[in-house]
Amino acid sequence: MYKRSRIMPRSIIAFALAALAPGAYGQVHAIDTSNSKLVVHAFKAGLFSGFADNHEIEAPVAEGTIDESGLQVKFVIDSRGLKVLDPQLSPDRRRQVQERMLGPEVLDSERFPRIEFQSTKVEQAGPASMLVSGKLSLHGAVRPISIKVHNDNGRYQGTCSIKQQDFGITPIRIAGGTVKVKDELKIDFDIRTNTQPNAARN
């Protein structure tokens, strides 16, 4: 009994200090959706790829949060808001690519409007970089992905790759497959947070 009485006060003090520590209530920063962006790069392939085009697609962030210590990340993209940039294409050709991308052949955005990422683990990978592991929900499928992220004072940047077929999307093929889009997509991201945190006490 004597030994237990000496341990208990120390445990209570440690718990109190932890409760009073900064970020104990999980303060999070909302993602600045107006200044954050993701750009998806789709590359051509196939025997006659010289007659096809690479595509650059803007994917605006609809909502999301990052905790102040960088240990939790989540965001949502509205797939219906994806925009084909492709400045080398004529307006009519760009519109055709846009419609095909959003249609049932590729994203099926009316059926699957939400693209979501939720982190499951964040590890320090260098003085200003982290390895973020999580789950990506796209086209009705959920798959694990890992992303290396560079943190520059609340600005999170990096590049990652995903394969369309992992999410049940068949890469576009035309002319019997002599012209097609590569399965692998490259994604560049630049995520910024608002300066005012929101308190999350759950």
- With CA atoms as reference, report the closest residue to 38 among 102, 5, 85: 85
pLDDT at 194: 84
Number of H helices, E strands in the chain: 2, 12
Give the separation between CA 16 and CA 2, rounded to whole angstroms: 23
Strand partners, 132: 122, 147
Judge contact between 38 and 77, C-beta under 8 A: yes
Give the separation between CA 146 and CA 158, rounded to whole angstroms: 11
Q: State which amino acid sits at residue 150.
A: H
Q: State which amino acid sits at residue 127.
A: P
Domains of the chain, each with CATH number or no CATH: 26-198 (2.40.128.110)
Q: 162: pLDDT confidence band, cut at 50, 70 and 90?
A: very high
Q: What percent of the chain has pLDDT over 90?
A: 53
Contacts of 75 (CB under 8 A, 6+ apart): 31, 61, 62, 63, 64, 65, 116, 117, 191
pLDDT at 4: 46
Contacts of 121 (CB under 8 A, 6+ apart): 132, 133, 134
**pLDDT tens-digit profile of 16-41?**
333 333 333 457 899 999 999 999 99
**Which of the pair, 67 or 180, is modelled with greater confidence?**
67
pLDDT at 190: 95
Give the separation between CA 200 and CA 202, rounded to whole angstroms: 6
User: Mean pLDDT in the chain?
Assistant: 80
122 pLDDT higher than 50: yes
pLDDT at 71: 77
Q: 127: pLDDT confidence band, cut at 50, 70 and 90?
A: confident
Kind and range of the H or E element at 2?
helix 2-20
Average pLDDT of span 59-74: 86
